Amino acid sequence: MKKLNLPLTKEDILSLHAGDPVLLSGVILTARDCAHRRIFECLDRGEKLPFDIEGATIYYAGPCPAKPGMASGSCGPTTSARMNVFAPRLYDLGLNSAIGKGEMSEEVKSALVKNRCCYFAAVGGAGALYGKAIKKSECIAFPDLLSEAVYRLEVVDFPVVVAMDAYGNSIYKNGK
């Protein structure tokens, strides 16, 4: 399986095609519904974000608490479609890629192509395996949101599939 280190370069992203399995290693940032709303409030007020979005990879996820001696609890992906309303603007601001589960919208697809970015699918429901691939976890923004806060995760060999690539291709079958 192809292995890539984060942050991804544009060359890395352009080498990926929908359906490719990839093992990611490096830093990813969690954010789901409430964190995205806070990020947008910061942007709308013209404030600096509490982390650097340029080149970042966002993971649509909210972990379980870590057991003693572990870096993270179970931490699989949440449904990405709820972030359809947020993702295009973040890609325009320099976000490189996102990880989640399930198909995203046509608007997200256009933003991926325009900004040469990609969207990865982690396997939904595989929370324990993903939790074990996290070697370090630190809350870096909005701690009052508990599991919905932004966590900086260091991951090793995080298994994902390229779901929507920089060329407008998608792995998803719509059942039509």
Partner 1 sequence: MRIIDTKQIEELVYSLALKAGVKMTEPCAAALKKACDIEEGAAKFALETILENKDVAFKEKMPVCQDTGMAVVIMEIGQDVHFVGELLSDAINEGVRRAYKDGYFRKSVCDPITRVNTGDNTPAAIHTEIVGGDKVRITFLPKGFGSENMSAHYMLTPSQGVEGIIDSIVETVRKAGSRPCPPVYVGVGIGGNFDTSAFLAKKALLKDVGYENEREDIRKIEREALKRINELGIGAQGFGGKVTALGVSCEVAPTHIAGLPVAVNIQCHCIRCEKGEI
List interacting residues with partner 1 (CB under 8 A). 19, 21, 34, 61-67, 73-76, 78-79, 81, 101-103, 121, 123-132, 145-148, 159, 161, 171-176
Known catalytic residue at 17: no
Query: Nearest distance from residue 145's CB to partner 1, in Å?
Result: 8
Residue 158 · residue 133 · CB < 8 Å:
yes
> For partner 1, which is the closer residue by CB, 8 or 121?
121
Token pair for 68: 């003693």
Query: Nearest distance from residue 55's CB to partner 1, in Å?
Result: 26
Query: Nearest distance from residue 108's CB to partner 1, in Å?
Result: 13
What's the distance, Cα to Cα, between the start and end of the chain in Å?
Answer: 31
Among residues 36, 38, 101, 109, the one annotated as catalytic is: 36
> For partner 1, which is the closer residue by CB, 53 or 81?
81
> For partner 1, which is the closer residue by CB, 8 or 149?
149
Residue 51 · residue 95 · CB < 8 Å:
no
Residue 100's contacts (CB-CB under 8 Å, 6 or more residues apart) are: 59, 60, 61, 77, 78, 79, 80, 83, 119, 120, 121, 122
Closest of 148, 88, 119 to residue 24, by C-alpha: 119
Residue 171 · residue 161 · CB < 8 Å:
yes
Query: Nearest distance from residue 94's CB to partner 1, in Å?
Result: 27
> For partner 1, which is the closer residue by CB, 148 or 165?
148
Sign of CA dihedral 27, 137, 162, 49: negative
Residues with catalytic annotation? 36
